[in-house]
């Protein structure tokens, strides 16, 4: 075939014919590239894909939850304790703390800060114990906060400038910006242990009476009227008794459930007391014990739907964390459960007594404990962060067997508290960080629990039967 074509091309046998053809081909190729807008010798790459249309997304909700640790307070004196409460519907948090100088005679003070959803910011840190209600230099220093359904914040503190050992309360209805004049609740006390509030505005204050030494309950009405102290008839108490109170139910069915700790005549004992909110004196008291000779302390309480009540506490000078739970609103109780210890504790010669609290995930039916390990960071400079484990209430099946650290942001965590609105699966965690800072953050419980603990959604058979 090629011979045939060769024969039909006139002059093909002339010298230089094929050189001329080759030059012509090169010229034509160059012209084609120039016509396409690409210079000869430049590497050609594919043009970028067109921008895809945006997919519809869910608009961000105006909620305070964040996975970032936030500094709520930074105070010049060491922070001895911290308390935390949330709104029972919106889960908006309020933080309170006590700060005191360890080297001078300056008085300790109580401070409060609340989160505002409208501004999406924490409010100014307010000093609430002023004038005659100042806390004083004595060791009985305490503060506690609670939030009612209408957003009213109640702060209660112990003003212990000897010989005036008193408990005072004040309220704020504008997210902590302004505070009402303090009201004297108890004139013979070692301070406040805890305070709880209901959706309809009832308040319960657990305080420690001085003479005779006994835990007492003082209740407040939505109208601001306070009751006389109602002594809880426990067999043993002392000036350092620890305790917590929660409220189960609402309205006329609301009940108080309190746990307080005993003295050396009953070491290792926790007293469980319950009564209707509106019926002083009608107490039912029981007890549980861990045995041994150690005193219990650092009690934190939780009331969660449906009817789950739990308290956490520690044994002083012991590195273990304990939980006691009820599934029927505090009517009956299981045994005290001692949680497993993190592996990191074995590397510390004397692990510190932990700080911690519990929350509850209703969907997974799990108590979630968060506590500190492993060195004493109360005065700063020692490594301690938060660990977690989970169990069904009262089942004592805490997992993992070696608790895992929570990436809370804590590096030198001391006093730690958790607050959770009923039926919410997000919680607030607050703690003293490096002695001079109060830090807080929100945590979603489903980020702490394995996904297999949650029930698998089931499609209703009614859908399949519909024609």
Predicted pLDDT of residue 100: 87
Predicted pLDDT of residue 296: 96
Taking the C-alpha atoms of residue 266 and residue 243, their distance in angstroms, rounded to an integer, is: 15
Taking the C-alpha atoms of residue 276 and residue 272, their distance in angstroms, rounded to an integer, is: 14
Residues 206/185, Cβ–Cβ less than 8 Å: no
Structure tokens belonging to residue 134? 């100042």
For the beta carbon of residue 58, count every other beta carbon within 10 angstroms.
5
Taking the C-alpha atoms of residue 161 and residue 109, their distance in angstroms, rounded to an integer, is: 12
Q: Which residues contact 268 (CB under 8 A, 6 or more apart)?
A: 262, 289, 290, 291, 292, 293, 294, 295, 296, 315
Structure tokens belonging to residue 276? 């209707």
Q: pLDDT (tens digit, 9 = 90+) per residue, 82-103?
A: 999 999 999 999 999 999 887 7
Residues 157/167, Cβ–Cβ less than 8 Å: yes
Tell me the pLDDT of the chain (467 aa) as tens digits: 433 333 444 454 555 554 455 554 544 444 444 444 444 445 555 666 666 555 444 444 444 446 678 999 999 899 999 999 999 999 999 999 999 887 766 778 899 999 988 888 899 999 999 888 888 766 678 999 999 999 999 999 997 667 778 999 999 999 999 999 999 999 989 999 999 999 999 999 999 999 899 999 999 999 999 999 999 999 999 999 999 999 998 878 899 999 999 999 999 999 999 999 989 999 999 999 999 999 999 999 999 977 999 999 999 888 899 999 999 999 999 999 999 999 888 888 888 889 999 999 999 999 999 999 988 777 766 888 999 999 999 999 999 999 989 989 898 899 999 999 988 889 999 999 989 999 999 999 999 999 999 987 766 555 555 44
How far is residue 402 CA from its own chain's centroid? 21
Structure tokens belonging to residue 311? 């308290």
Mean pLDDT of the residues in the chain:
85
Q: How far is CA 40 from CA 45, 211, 269, in A?
A: 14, 100, 90
Predicted pLDDT of residue 26: 44
Domain ranges in the chain are: 70-436
Q: pLDDT (tens digit, 9 = 90+) per residue, 53-86?
A: 554 444 444 444 466 789 999 998 999 999 999 9
Predicted pLDDT of residue 232: 98
> Which H or E run contains 20?
helix 17-35
Beta bridge partners of 404: 388
b or e along 337-376 (b: 16 or more beta carbons within 10 Å of the residue's beta carbon)? bebbbbebbeebeebbbbbbbbbbbeebbbbbbbbbbbbb
Q: How far is CA 35 from CA 30, 38, 46, 413, in A?
A: 9, 8, 18, 71
In the CATH hierarchy, which fold is given to the domain comprising 70-436? Neuraminidase (2.120.10)
Taking the C-alpha atoms of residue 75 and residue 110, their distance in angstroms, rounded to an integer, is: 11
Q: What angle do CA 407, 412, 416 make, to 5 degrees?
A: 75
């Amino acid at each position: 075939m090629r011979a045939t074509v060769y024969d039909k091309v006139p002059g093909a046998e002339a010298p230089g014919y094929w050189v001329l053809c080759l030059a012509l081909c090169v010229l034509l190729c160059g012209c084609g590239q120039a016509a396409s807008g690409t210079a000869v010798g430049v590497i050609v790459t594919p043009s970028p894909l067109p921008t895809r249309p945006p997919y519809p997304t869910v608009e961000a909700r105006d909620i305070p939850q964040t996975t970032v640790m936030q500094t709520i307070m930074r105070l010049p004196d060491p922070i001895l304790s911290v308390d935390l409460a949330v709104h029972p519907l919106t889960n908006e948090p309020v933080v309170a703390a006590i700060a005191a100088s360890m080297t001078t005679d300056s008085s300790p003070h109580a401070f409060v800060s609340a989160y505002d959803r409208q501004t999406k910011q924490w409010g100014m840190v307010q000093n609430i114990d002023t004038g005659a209600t100042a806390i004083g230099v004595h060791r009985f220093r305490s503060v506690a906060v609670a939030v009612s359904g209408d957003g009213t914040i109640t702060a209660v503190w112990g003003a212990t400038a000897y010989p005036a050992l008193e408990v005072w309360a004040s309220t704020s209805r504008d997210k902590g910006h302004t505070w009402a004049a303090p009201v004297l609740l108890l004139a013979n006390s070692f301070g406040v242990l805890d305070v709880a509030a209901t959706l309809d505005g009832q308040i319960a204050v657990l305080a420690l009476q001085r003479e005779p030494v006994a835990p007492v309950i003082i209740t407040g009405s939505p109208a601001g009227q306070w009751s006389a102290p109602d002594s809880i008839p426990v067999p043993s108490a002392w000036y350092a008794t620890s305790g917590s109170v929660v409220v189960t139910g609402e309205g006329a069915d609301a009940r108080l459930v309190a746990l307080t700790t005993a003295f050396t005549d009953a070491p290792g004992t926790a007293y469980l007391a319950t009564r209707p909110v509106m019926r002083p004196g009608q107490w039912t008291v029981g007890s549980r014990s861990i045995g041994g000779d150690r005193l219990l302390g650092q009690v934190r309480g939780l009331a969660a739907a449906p009817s789950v009540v739990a308290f956490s506490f520690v044994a002083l000078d012991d590195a273990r964390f304990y939980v006691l739970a009820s599934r029927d609103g505090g009517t009956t109780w299981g045994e005290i459960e001692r949680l497993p210890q993190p592996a990191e504790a074995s590397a510390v010669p004397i692990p510190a007594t932990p700080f911690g609290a519990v929350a509850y995930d209703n969907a997974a039916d799990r108590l979630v404990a968060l506590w500190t390990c492993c060195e004493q960071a109360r005065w700063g400079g020692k490594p301690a962060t938060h660990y977690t484990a989970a169990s069904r209430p009262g089942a004592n099946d805490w997992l993992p067997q070696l608790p895992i650290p929570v990436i809370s942001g804590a590096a030198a965590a001391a006093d730690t508290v958790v607050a959770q609105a009923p039926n919410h699966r997000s919680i607030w965690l607050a703690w003293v960080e490096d002695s001079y800072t109060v830090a807080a953050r929100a945590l979603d419980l489903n980020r702490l629990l394995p996904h297999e603990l949650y029930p698998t959604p089931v499609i209703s058979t009614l859908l399949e039967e519909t024609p």
